[in-house]
Amino acid sequence: MTETTYAQSATGAEVHTTHIQEPRVLSMQQALNTALDEILASNTKALVFGEDVGHLGGVFRVTDGLQAKHGSSRVFDTPLAESGILGLAAGLAMAGFTPLPEVQFDGFAYPAINQIVCQIARLNYRSRGTMPMPITLRVPSFGGIRAPEHHGESLEALFAHVPGLKVVSPADPHQAYHLLRYAAASPDPVIFMEPKARYWQKAPVEAAPGDDLAGARIARHGRHLTLVAWGAMVARCLQVAELAAEDGIDVEVLDLRWLSPIDGVTLAESVGRTRRAVVVHEAPLTSGLGAEVAQLITASCFDTLRSPVERVTGFDVPYPSGDLEDEYVPNVDRILYGIQRVLEYKRG
């Protein structure tokens, strides 16, 4: 059950403490909806807006019922203009609001890149810390739902390359609930990449986060090799770990969570133990985030690594139509091949 306690902040804005009190089994879509509901209830400056998020409740039902509950001045539809959505977010943040805009699909974020990169990411820097941008931009991301072009893309490397932005992706309902609340409370702009292929699977959401939400987490402990993943690839890597166990290989799965800043300490700690690593992502290989992760691992674990870090990724082509996405997105066999390459490596 959700409970709300009321208090009055120094600025007069009502600040409530609202969160689930006991474990609930939710889909990620429901977990995000619950988190948004609580953020709106607890922070009177929070606003949710985007294409179809109001009356319709979002194309994935993530904002379902929020307009009816919190009113159309706090949860509202925008024109089909992502540049305008993010420009509005920047202006609202300047005026002291906590904007939670949505860009309906990954591939629709491109028209908003100028506002994100040239304004939102650097206004706090430009203003010497007097103009924080506490914006959480929710973006249904990655592939896996047989959708048309511009609905299956992985933009994490683009955003992670921009100083001033934080980038995070939850892997399951529990992570989604707690990371969204964490992001909304952050004074920095956060790109919140929701793995749309994982919107529907239900899992327990605990009342307490369970660990430090600022870093990576070990989703499964193992001794022989670390699989590094984020978003929808975490669930796939957990499947791969089960398959590898049938062959006697004990795989650790590291859910990176934050794609900027990357938690190099947890990476080093994990691969320092397993001495082998494979990075898995849906985005194309070249200049993908896997390269950054591989370098961080190499820099910290060079002396003990048993093999170069492998990458299993999408291909260097535009994201394909739905018929081909099972070949494009890393599947269990491609990840198993990646593991085998690392296991077979012999020093020359």
Partner 1 sequence: MAELTFPLPDLGEGLIEATVLEWLVAPGDQVERNQPLVEVETSKSAVELPSPQAGKVLRIHGEPGQSISVGQPLIVFDVPDDSAGIVGTVPKDEAPKRRVRLSAVLDED
Site residues for partner 1 per CB under 8 A: 27, 59-61, 105, 144-148, 151, 196-197, 199-201, 224, 236, 239-240, 243-244, 247-249, 322, 331-333, 336-337, 339-340, 343-344
- At residue 30's C-alpha, the angle toward residues 29 and 34, to 5°, is 120
| DSSP codes joined into one string, 58-71 | -TTSTTTTHHHHH-
Output the smallest distance, CB 224 to partner 1, in A. 6
Cα torsion for 234, 229, 175, 46, to the nearest 10°?
Answer: -130
Whose Cβ is closer to partner 1: residue 27's or residue 115's?
27
Output the smallest distance, CB 61 to partner 1, in A. 5
Residue 166 burial (CB < 10 Å; 0-12/13-18/19+)?
Answer: buried
Output the smallest distance, CB 146 to partner 1, in A. 5
Output the smallest distance, CB 68 to partner 1, in A. 14
Tell me how far apart the alpha carbons of residues 170 and 229 are, in angstroms, rounded to a whole number: 11
Whose Cβ is closer to partner 1: residue 145's or residue 213's?
145
Whose Cβ is closer to partner 1: residue 86's or residue 241's?
241
Tell me how far apart the alpha carbons of residues 153 and 144 are, in angstroms, rounded to a whole number: 10
What are phi and psi for residue 19, nearest 5 degrees? -165, 165
Name the 3-class secondary structure at 316: coil
Whose Cβ is closer to partner 1: residue 298's or residue 331's?
331
Whose Cβ is closer to partner 1: residue 254's or residue 278's?
278
The structure tokens listed for 170 are: 């939850």
Task: Give residue 122's identity as a one-letter amino acid code.
Answer: R
Strand 217-220 relative to strand 277-284, pairing: unpaired
Active site residue ranges = 151
Name the 3-class secondary structure at 113: helix
Output the smallest distance, CB 249 to partner 1, in A. 5
Which one, of 184, 162, 198, lies nearest residue 282 by Cα?
198
339 within 8 A of 251, measured Cβ to Cβ: yes
Continuous H helices in 247-288: 264-274
Whose Cβ is closer to partner 1: residue 123's or residue 312's?
312
Output the smallest distance, CB 118 to partner 1, in A. 29
Q: Which residue has the tokens 């022989």?
A: 224
Number of H helices, E strands in the chain: 12, 16
